[in-house]
Amino acid sequence: MEDIKLGRTGLKVSRLCLGTMTFGWSSDEETSFAIMDTALDAGINFFDSADVYSRWIEGNNGGDSEKIIGKWLKTKNRRDIIIATKTRAQMWDGANGQGLSRSHIIHAVEDSLRRLQTDYIDLYQTHWPDDETPMDETLLALDNLVKSGKVRYIGTSNHPPSLMVESLWISDIHKISRYETLQPHYSMLHRKEYELELEKVCKKHNIGVIPYSPLAAGFLTGKYSRENKSPDSTRSSGGLIQNMLNNEKAYIVLDRVMEIADGYNVPPAQIALAWMLTKPTITAPIVGARTVEQLNDVIGATDLSLTDAEIQTLDEVSDGF
C-alpha cells in the first residue's frame, strides 16, 4: 500500500487509516490484536482512536480502545506506526472532565499516553468544538504539547469552515502549531458538509483530510438492502444509518456501486473507498472493522483505479447528498 504525505507535514501515512472505535466494544482484545496485525501486514501504518472509545458501553470507563492499542503496540516497532487519538469528551466527573480547556487537555493527554504505553502521540486531535473555551487557549495548550515532545502534530475533527479558518488565523498570529489535519464526516452519501466549503479551505491551506464514516455507517458495504434493513444490530439503530435505510435515492447509489463492484469482482466497500481516493484533498479515509474479514473486504481499495466514466457515474448518482 502506497504512502502519502499528511497535509503539509513531513509525515507519511498509508492511504487508509484504521479506525479503532470497535476495540473493547464489538471487538474483544484478541480480535482487535488480529485486526491490527492484519492492517500492519497490509501496509496500513496509520491508526486512529479517541480517549472516549468506548465510554458509552456499560462497564467501560473510556480509554478502552487506547488500552488495547497500547498493549499491542508494546510488541511492535513504535516508529513504524502512526498513532492518532482525540480528546474533548467527558472522561471524568466534574466541570473540567470534558472540553478543550488547558486543564482538560493537559490531564487528558497524560491519560492517553499512559493507556497507549508510549511517550508521544503522532497526531493529537480535538474531537469536536468547545464553544465554552477560547480557541487561543486550546491551541496554545496544544502547542505546548508539541514543544514538549509529547505530541508530534495536532489536528481536529467536526469543525465547520468558519472555525477552521479562525483556528488557522489564531495559530498564525501567535506563531504556534496549527491544525494540520481535519476529520470530516464524508462519504458518497454525505457530501455537502465537506464539499461545499471545507474542501476549499483544506485545499488552500494544505490540510490533511481523514474522513470518518466513508462507507456511510456500513450502508455502502452492501449488507443493507431494500428487503433487509436490519442485518446488523450494532449499526442499524444508529442515527447515521437510519437516514438512509428509508431513502430510495441511497439505494440507487448503492445499486451503481454494486454494479461497478461486480465488474471488478470486489466487495462494494472497495468501490466506495476507491471513489473517495480519487478526490485530490483526501489523505486517508478511516475504515473500521469488527473482524479481520471485514478489514480484508476493504484493504484492496487502494489498488483499484476507477475509470473516468465510473467516477462520473458515481459523482452524478450521489449528487445532492
Read off the C-alpha cell for 45. 501504518
Question: What pLDDT was estimated at residue 239?
Answer: 67
What tens digit of pLDDT does each residue of 193-220 get?
999 999 999 999 999 999 999 999 999 9
- 68 pLDDT above the threshold of 80: yes
Percentage with pLDDT > 70 across the chain? 97
Closest CA to 46 of 174, 167, 175, 209: 209
User: How many distinct structural domains can be found in the chain?
Assistant: 1
C-alpha cell at 220: 455502502
For the chain, what's the residue count?
A: 321
- 259 φ/ψ angles, rounded to the nearest 5 degrees: -65, -45
- The residue ranking higher by pLDDT, 92 or 232, is 92
Residue 160 has pLDDT above 50, yes or no: yes
What is the arithmetic mean of pLDDT over 11-16? Answer: 98
Q: Given this model, what pLDDT does residue 230 score?
A: 76
Nearest to 102, CA basis, from 64, 62, 60, 133: 133
Average pLDDT over residues 90-97: 94
Cα 130 to chain centroid, rounded: 19
pLDDT over 90 percentage in the chain: 92
Helix (H, G, I), strand (E, B) or coil at 267: coil
| pLDDT beyond 50 at 92 | yes
Q: Which pLDDT band, with edges at 50, 70 and 90, does 242 fall under?
A: confident
Angle at 211 between CA 231 and CA 312, to 5 degrees: 85
What is the DSSP annotation of 97-155? SSSSSHHHHHHHHHHHHHHHT-S-EEEEEE-S--TTS-HHHHHHHHHHHHHHTSEEEEE
Residue type, 40: L
Q: What angle (nearest 5°) sits at the alpha carbon of residue 294, between those of residues 124 and 239?
A: 65
pLDDT surpassing 80 at residue 149: yes
Reply yes or no on whether the pLDDT at 233 is more than 80: no
To the nearest whole number, what is the mean pLDDT of the chain? 95
95-112 average pLDDT score? 97
Other C-beta atoms closer than 10 Å to the C-beta of 221 total 21
> 509525515: which residue's cell?
11
Is the pLDDT at 228 greater than 90? The verdict is no
Q: Which residues pair with 242 in a beta bridge?
A: none
Element (DSSP H or E) covering residue 277: helix 268-277
What pLDDT sits at residue 234? Answer: 54
Going from the C-alpha of 5 to that of each of 156, 206, 210, 308, the distances in angstroms are: 17, 10, 12, 25
Whichever domain contains 247, its CATH number is 3.20.20.100
| Summary count for the chain: helices (H), strands (E) | 12, 10
| 53 is known as an active-site residue | yes
If one compares 244 and 164, the residue with the highest pLDDT of the two is: 164
Neighbours of 316 (CB within 10 A): 10
* pLDDT, mean of residues 238-262: 91
Residue 236 has what pLDDT? Answer: 46
Cα 229–Cα 231–Cα 236 angle in degrees, nearest 5: 65
- Render pLDDT for 119-142 as a digit per residue (tens, 0 to 9): 999 999 999 999 999 999 999 999
Output the pLDDT for position 102. 98
The pTM of the full predicted model, rounded to 2 decimals, is 0.96
Boundaries of domain holding 72:
3-317
- pLDDT beyond 80 at 238: no
**Active-site residue, from 53, 153, 179, 224:** 53
